[in-house]
A and B are shown apart, each in its own frame.
Chain A
Amino acid sequence: DGGITQSPKYLFRKEGQNVTLSCEQNLNHDAMYWYRQDPGQGLRLIYYSQIVNDFQKGDIAEGYSVSREKKESFPLTVTSAQKNPTAFYLCACTGGNYEQYFGPGTRLTVT
């Protein structure tokens, strides 16, 4: 059953802690993306990766970090430097035809 998964669905953290969000895909797609969505807003690109061991900053990369050690995995770390980390985080991948496949999202709440 091919797809893209994110875990956990809900995540709660105290301010000042780093937290890592998981994104895994078995679609054999090269490109992967992380987006942030705030209430009533569209998606804003945080980071993207077109190939293993390479990634690029998106529009709002400050306070976030990523790694791409395996084709199927693209974890996102929300660091304590991110000033307003509470949001809905979406991971996506594409095989090169522009259509993006999205995971179910992780809702992060930082208090």
Chain B
Amino acid sequence: EVHLVESGGGLVKPGESLRVSCAVSGFTFKDAWMNWVRQAPGKGLEWVGRIRSKSGGGTTDYAAPVKGRFTISRDDSKDTLYLQMISLKTEDTAVYYCTTDSDFLFQHWGPGTLVTVSS
């Protein structure tokens, strides 16, 4: 069974940094393309970015609001996906979900981790 669990969320001040993680199981992580999607409180879904598998080039794409501040990486030896966030803004407050990217679909999701940016 596919399982994704995010961790590392919390309360930070504007301008600070935070790294959230996503531990996965139940599928071959090294072959998977992965995404981060976020949802501000009471709002809709917003794609944050994705990382290809190493065999797919291992490259990343980002949404404009986070490009240059957020970095997606992966550790295939640990079956873990990361989202490093710097220069956080209040508008980055959201639940952050990791998702698989299967035939373009966000097929499997974790329960999410809440990141709150507030002074």
Do the two shown chains form a genuine complex with each other?
no
